[in-house]
Amino acid sequence: MSIDRRDFLGLLAMLGAESASNPLLAASGSYDSERDPGAPAPGTYRPGRIDNEYALLLPGEREALEKPPVVSSLTSEVVTIRHGDQTIQMRPHDETDGWRLLTITAIDSVQTAVFEKHVTHRGAIAYVTAQGVSAIIPKQIGELSNIRPRQINTPHGVRFQRATHYGPDTVGQYILSSTEDPCYENVAALGAEYVGWTLVANEEAGPQRSLYLESSGKSRELNPDSGLQVLWAPDAASALFDPTDLIFQSLSEGFSSKRTLLGGYLPVADLAVWDPTQQSGYEVIVLLPPGRDAKPMVRLRSMIAPETLSELEELKSTHPELIAGVAIFREKGRTYIERYWNGSAGEFHTALASLWSKWRGFHESALQVDIPDEWLLNAARAGITLARCSYTGLDPTYQIGEGGYTKTPPSSHALFPVAHYEFIWAHQLWNHCASADTYFQHYLEHYVLPDGNFTYNTQDQVEAPLNVGIFLANSARAYFYTLDLKSLEKRLPILERMMGYVLERYDYSKTTFPPSDRRHGLIWGSPEADLGDPKKDTPADHPYFYQNAVCVWRGLEQHARALKLAAQNGSGRHLSGAADRYQAIAQEMRAKIQASLAATLAACSSAMRTAGITPFNPDDINHDPTQLESYENHRFMEDWFLADWGDPALDLGHLKHRVLAGRQSLGLGTSGLPYMTSNFMAHGTLNVLIRQDDYRPFLLSLYALTCYAADSGNRYAPEDAFMPGGHPLEGSAYAWSAVVNSTLQPALGLRWLLCYEETDADVCHLQKAAPRHWFANGETIAVRNCPTRFGTIGWSTRSLTDRQWKITVDLPRAFAGDLVIHVHAPDGRPLHKTSSGRVQGDSVVFQRNALQGVRRLQLLVS
């Protein structure tokens, strides 16, 4: 489809006006106030906002949830708590100060009282012993009557709706042209959320023994006793679990659900439903204990009407087996029942405590982050959790949980190199480096063929050789972050095979084509698995795509840099020769790619040159700037961005092309349909945008991914999200399948927001894309154990007022780079002064020589 002529002509005019002052905005389009005479002028309005009800706490509620009852003593049946000067004895289902006693159970031989409290939109489960509080698990489920569909607030009439044709990114530019930075509250306000399924999993059972819950809480896993073939179809009958079977009440049409992960990032479903017709609701928590053959356990809490209570009383005498284990209690004037399935209350909460201890310990032992947006932090952590639970041991997957991409035994999709490199990359950025190395080595040993190609390529498709380059970059990053020579040396023999595989293709182009040929020095191969066929994998089957060449170049350049560093560190002196060899190859390769690019750009049509778009391959010289194929948009240019070639004009050319062709919504590249984004490569968009001076388009894309291309509560992130208001089963099985790449986008994005290292310059940026409201009075940004190639760092930024910040940075012994600390004042004005360093716009800069021997920086910025 082509964009509307009026939209396009208006967009061209806007591009000309904006480009002189802000080239990134020129590439992104602009909110066109002239299209609507009543629309506000750019920079003069606040966009509509909604509350983030997944994270919202009203005044006093945080403190209330952090203070469970104080236990003075307890037995297996009674808990004695101190309440002021008095003591109160409680039995299960008794309540005090809003805290209800769920059960008393022995955890690690210690008697423990398990309490629960709900406030407006949130809640908490607290484990308390006579020695004190042992754990508090946050909940995103609060009072059931407050559950409703995500609200929409569009005071200026700009609303995110499903487009009928490709066109300007009006909704994205509406946010960027406002007085606010993009955030959940203003991005989510534009349209309906994605309603996905909620995963229940562990790290041992593998995807086929995990569960997905529908929005009602019903499991999509077939009951193995049903007599039906237990294959993922998806399941449509004989569910393993359906909460409505246990609450003696059916649902009306039009019910609302709130789908979350308990604790924000556990692989435990905490899902609640409100039925406005019946003015009733329920909450279901489903977990899968450790073990390959584990069976899911369920806790159900449900409101019941007076007539249902009467029926239960009758069942108690006539069919007691139907209500065995049902507890009845009162809470805030309503009657509830509570029951457990596949285990007792004690067994359930003991298993839950173990899961919380495991996953909280896993995340807190690595990169520790405290930011004003708890919801975004949970998205990043949940992505890593869900991906790990979708692997089968160390064996990789592309599918999160079970779905359209699940193959047994693992076949092409499970071994998708793009998924595994992002899995490793995310772990490295969040300081799970030792774990990443274990997964990385397993993949190399089991899924790289003797010729250096990927096992994936021997299946029904051929993936791009560019993945070799990104695997090399992952290997280099692993050494930069850990200086673990033993792990590096263990990888080297297999990496050598992989480099041999792509260098053979590089040598082919050098010897086959003269230097005057634009294909000289490039690398042949498929650009993408869906376009590759093992029977047509020859030098003549595809154009010589630039992203294959630049990704391989970048990988070789990074690999050579890692080998050189290892040689300089003493024990790796024997790697010096290989470092020099690969550095020379990378330098030669860059020169040949650069020559090809220059010749191709010179040969481009006048339309391409006038528009400033970037070609995808040497034959791409007559491209209509208003036309952009789906794979060009959601794969080819994304791979280019990830290589970080280092020429901003070429990056900008691809971004311009996306806009001119109308292939962007809320900063995300649209795919085969104007309302669909293939977001599995959106980390490329995030990567190119974090490199820009203007951080707001990065924020727009990051929040669009988390608000529209995924379920905002349970993080279900399909490969091809239909936006807005999509849901599983919409489109093909592949389109709506949640995948590793899409699920991990927030993890990479948030890390780059907080700490970004330039690739070709020794510069480390802190808080480069932190939004202005994170720097408002009373807010704090704190990060610890953050790995960089300059060493592990930590820092905190505490806002004393809206214009004054106290910043502390802890540095390693030798920080061999420049440090740039970004502070985006709420009023948008540049910084005025700093007690240390040099003010440069909205940042404080420290040159590397000023950091020598400094272990801690303390500065006051205003």
At 473-499, the pLDDT tens digits run: 999 999 999 999 999 999 999 999 999
Give me 518's structure tokens: 């634009």
Backbone angles phi, psi at 112, to 5 degrees: -135, 135
Give this prediction's pTM: 0.94
Q: What is the predicted pLDDT for the residue at 24?
A: 54
Q: What is the predicted pLDDT for the residue at 459?
A: 67
The answer, yes or no, to whether residue 428 has pLDDT greater than 80, is yes
Give me 189's structure tokens: 């306000």
In this structure, are residues 153 and 37 in contact, taking their beta carbons and an 8 Å threshold? no
The answer, yes or no, to whether residue 234 has pLDDT greater than 50, is no
Which has the closest alpha carbon to 186: 198, 197, 176?
176
Which has the closest alpha carbon to 8: 625, 504, 660?
660
d(CA 314, CA 122): 35
Pure H helices in 682-755: 682-690, 696-707, 740-754
Q: What is the predicted pLDDT for the residue at 697?
A: 98
Does the structural domain 763-861 have CATH classification 2.60.420? Answer: yes
- 3-class secondary structure per residue, 607-618: HHHHHCCCCCCC
- Residue 533: count other Cβ atoms within 10 Å of its Cβ: 12
d(CA 745, CA 379): 9
Give me 733's structure tokens: 């099985």
d(CA 111, CA 96): 20
Q: What is the predicted pLDDT for the residue at 319?
A: 67
Q: What share of the chain is helix, strand, coil (3-state, %, to 5)?
A: 40, 20, 40
What digits encode the pLDDT tens for the residues 561-599?
A: 999 999 999 888 899 999 999 999 999 999 999 999 999
d(CA 607, CA 12): 13
Instruction: Please spell the DSSP secondary structure of 287-308, one letter per residue.
Output: E--SSTT---EEEEEEE--HHH
Give 456 or 391, the one with higher predicted confidence: 391
Dihedral sign, CA of 526, 532, 534, 540?
negative
- List every span in the chain annotated with CATH 2.60.420: 763-861
Query: What is the length of the chain?
Result: 862
Mean pLDDT value across the chain:
91
The answer, yes or no, to whether residue 376 has pLDDT greater than 70, is yes
The number of helix segments (H) and strand segments (E) in the chain equals 21, 30
Which has the closest alpha carbon to 572: 484, 493, 649, 644?
484
- What does the pLDDT average to over 699-722? 98
The answer, yes or no, to whether residue 151 has pLDDT greater than 90, is yes
Backbone angles phi, psi at 417, to 5 degrees: -55, -35
Q: Residue for token digits 């001076």?
A: 693
d(CA 132, CA 70): 7
In this structure, are residues 167 and 230 in contact, taking their beta carbons and an 8 Å threshold? no
Q: What is the predicted pLDDT for the residue at 554?
A: 98
| Straight-line distance from the first to the last Cα atom of the chain, in angstroms, rounded to the nearest whole number | 50
Give me 77's structure tokens: 């049946």
What is the H or E stretch that residue 619 is in? none
Give 532 or 53, the one with higher predicted confidence: 53
- Cα–Cα distances (Å) from 665 to 23, 426, 618, in that order, read 19, 25, 29
Using DSSP bridges, classify how beta strands 269-275 and 280-287 pair: parallel, antiparallel or unpaired. antiparallel
Q: Residue for token digits 């964009």?
A: 3
- Residue 481: count other Cβ atoms within 10 Å of its Cβ: 20
